[in-house]
Amino acid sequence: MTTTPRRRETGAAKRPISITAVVDCVGALAAGNMQGHLYMYDTNKSAGSTGFGTEELQTRARKGDQLLWNALALECEAYVAIDGIVIDSSICVPERKVYPGTDVAYWIGTVKKDAPNVTYQIKFKLGTRDEPIATTLSSSLIG
């Protein structure tokens, strides 16, 4: 009797961790900064992410996790887009992508190594303002 080699089980396939920034564009444009006008969320609360609804979201992420950042405007007629993500490139290198057949952009990156606490900043394009507005406080990836 011959046996077929069994595939080594490594657990369920990882799904991306989606990080969403909800921006009060009117408030941020009036203030000239994001403080008090940004509400961050992710899809990894069950694994230990904290700081939901604040500018200081702490996303629990480990080596190999794929992160997907997107932005939504609190006001339905306002414009918001992520213009850049500033993070230690030895941990993650986010890149801008566009959903096929649309002009809807998102940012994606893979965590290269476990780190206890790595902060990052997001730069946003708001309304018709030419210069991006960066987050005042930093969100972070926690290991």
- Spell out the domains of the chain, with CATH numbers in brackets: 17-142 (2.60.40.3910)
The DSSP symbol for 4 reads P
**Pick from 19, 9, 122: which is nearest to 61 by CA?**
19
Would the pLDDT of 55 be above 90?
A: yes
CB atoms within 10 A of CB 128: 7
Region 95-117: mean pLDDT is 94
* pLDDT surpasses 50 at 74: yes
Q: Is 46 helix (H, G, I), strand (E, B) or coil?
A: helix
Which residues are registered as beta bridge partners of 127? none
Q: What share of the chain is helix, strand, coil (3-state, %, to 5)?
A: 5, 40, 50
